[in-house]
Amino acid sequence: MDDKKTILIVDDEKPIVDILVYNLQKEGYDTLEANDGVTAVDIALDKKPDLILLDIMLPKMDGLTVCKKIRSSLNVPILMLTAKDEEIDKILGLELGADDYITKPFSVRELMARIKANLRKSEIKENNNVSTNDSSNTKKIIVGSLELDLDKFEAKVDGEVMDLTLREFEVLKFLASQAGQVITREVLLEKVWGYEYYGDIRTVDVTVRRIRGKIEKDTTNPKILITKRGVGYYIKAD
């Protein structure tokens, strides 16, 4: 690989770090390691890795706080590593800006698939950012009060720019490109997260809830991003 991606592994359990380092390097990635939260933030802001694997239970500073601090400065994919009984923490992690989570014990193969999917999405954004500023070539999707600028990765509602993460933008873009059509959670997981298998659909629900909190005036009575109970989500077509 000419342009090797760097992954920061944050975990205080040395056996897990060793397994991850071995498998990631075997796949051609460079690795960085941190065994506590404070070091993780310092390394992330200094080295700016391409992706971060972040455990929740850490000494000095917990993973959720680490996620929040890193996310305020870097828009890098963050995958939370959680124990099975940390359901609430998972959701919290996603609301703080994590892109995904995987529960321990995890299969290395599944983790590698998720890492590749997240890096691929991140790479698409970087490539698109090197696009022309010629307004005649600007690609946009406009549905009612929602306007998506696909070159700038920018979302506006009634002309006001919304502060979305890359993942949130991708979800909106996928739904808006098929406005009025209900999209299932499974399809969103496959098309937006890039998983070739069914992951945890709650990831989709949490992300949609987070988007609503940003684009809707009243989240209890959404006008743009609508839920079709028991099926999925759609963007209301005017």
Tokens 């698109």 appear where? 128
pLDDT of residue 74: 86
Among 6-10, 93-97, 219-223, 230-234, the range scoring the smallest mean pLDDT is 93-97
Q: pTM of this prediction?
A: 0.68
74, with CB counted inside 10 A (0-12, 13-18, 19+), is: middle
User: Taking the domain 6-129, which CATH number applies?
Assistant: 3.40.50.2300
Q: d(Cα 172, Cα 111) in Å, to the nearest integer? A: 25
Q: What is the pLDDT of residues 78-129, one digit of tens each?
A: 998 887 666 666 666 777 778 888 888 888 888 888 888 888 776 765 555 4
Specify the residue for token string 């998983």: 195
Largest CA distance in the chain: 54
The whole-angstrom separation of Cα 128 and Cα 151 is 6
Q: Note the pLDDT tens digit of each residue in 187-196.
A: 898 888 776 5
Q: Which of 16-30, 114-128, 146-160, 171-185 has the lowest mean pLDDT?
A: 114-128
Give the start-to-end residue ranges of the domains of the chain. 6-129, 135-235
CA 120 to chain centre: 12
Task: Provide the pLDDT for residue 130.
Answer: 38
CA distance 95 to 216: 16
Residue 146 has pLDDT above 80, yes or no: yes
d(CA 15, CA 94): 26
Among candidates 175, 163, 174, 173, which has minimal Cα distance to 210? Answer: 163
**Burial of residue 96 (number of CB atoms within 10 Å: 0-12, 13-18, 19+):** buried
- Note the CATH architecture for domain 135-235: Orthogonal Bundle (1.10)
